[in-house]
Amino acid sequence: MAKTDALQGSLDLLVLKILSRRPRLHGYAIMAAVASTSGDVLRAEEGSLYPALHRMEEAGWIRAEWIKKDSGRRARVYELTAAGKKQLGVEESRWQSVSLAINRVLREA
């Protein structure tokens, strides 16, 4: 089965959800977390992950910080802000209603 790229709308939701469970992750870790928690079904492409992260940072949902890694290199880690938690609620309920609607269509069509 082909690995589905996360839909544009749902990438924000996935990132926010993952950050809400495990704060202070860098980009690669978020990508890995999307893959592992979805059982390798979903995959966040690098090409959309970083613009999404930066967009959400500008929107004030997540906050970034540079940390020093053991290798001596710096990594940029992200965590949820208060606005981000609120946004997560909004995104979750929207996803619920969308998936409910799609399920209904699938059942009745």
Partner 1 sequence: MSLWSRILNAVQGERLNREIDEELQSHIEEAIASGRDPDEARRTFGSILRQREASHSIRVAGWLESLLADVRFGWRQLCRNKVTSVAAVLSLALGIGSCVAAFRLIDALLWRPLPISNSSNLYVLSHKMTGFDGKPLEDDHWATPEFNLMRNAVKDQADLIAISEADRMDITWSTDDDVEKAHVVYVSGNMFPLFGLEPALGRLFVAADDRAPGAAPYAVLSWDYWNHRFGRDPHVLGRLLHIGDQNFQIIGVGPRDFTGVEKGTVTDIFLPLSMNTLAAQDRADWHRVFLMLKPGVNPTTALEPLRQHLSAVNHTFGSACSTCFRGETQADIDRYLNQKLVFYSAGAGISALQKEYRRLLVVLGLLAALVLFIACVNVGNMMTAQAAARAQEMALRISIGAGRRRLVQLILAQSALLALLASVLGALFAAWSAPFVLGLINPPDNPARLALSADWRVLLFGFGLIILVVLLLGLLPALRASAVRPVAALKGGEDPYSPRRLMRGAIALQVAFCFLTLFLSSLFVASFQRLQNRPLGFSTDRLLLLETVAGKGQTSVVWNQTAEALRAAPGVDSVAISGWPLLGRIRINSDISINGAPPSPTPAFFLNISPGWLPTMKIPLDSGRDFGPQDTSPGAAIVSETFVKTYFPGQDPIGRTFSRGANQPLNTIVGVTPDVPDHDLREPNLAVFYVPFNEVDDKSVPKTVDFATFVIHTDTRNPLALTDSLRQLIAQRHNGLRVSNVTTQLELVRDQTVRERLIAMLAAFFAAVALLLAGIGLYAVLNYSVLQRRREIGIRMAMGSPRASIVRVVTLDVFLMIALGGCTGVALGFGAARYVESLFYQVKATDAGMIALPACAILLTALVATLPAVLRALRTDPTEILRAE
Extended strands (E) in the chain: 4-5, 25-26, 42-43, 62-68, 74-80
Q: Is 26 in the site for partner 1 (CB under 8 A)?
A: yes
Among 75, 79, 92, 95, binds partner 1 (CB under 8 A): 75
Among 1, 2, 8, 58, binds partner 1 (CB under 8 A): 58
Q: Which two tokens stand for residue 36?
A: 């592992």
Minimum CB distance to partner 1 smaller for 17 or for 26: 26
Collapse the DSSP code of 48 into the 3-class scheme (helix H, G, I; strand E, B; otherwise coil) and give the result. Answer: helix
Q: Is 65 in the site for partner 1 (CB under 8 A)?
A: no
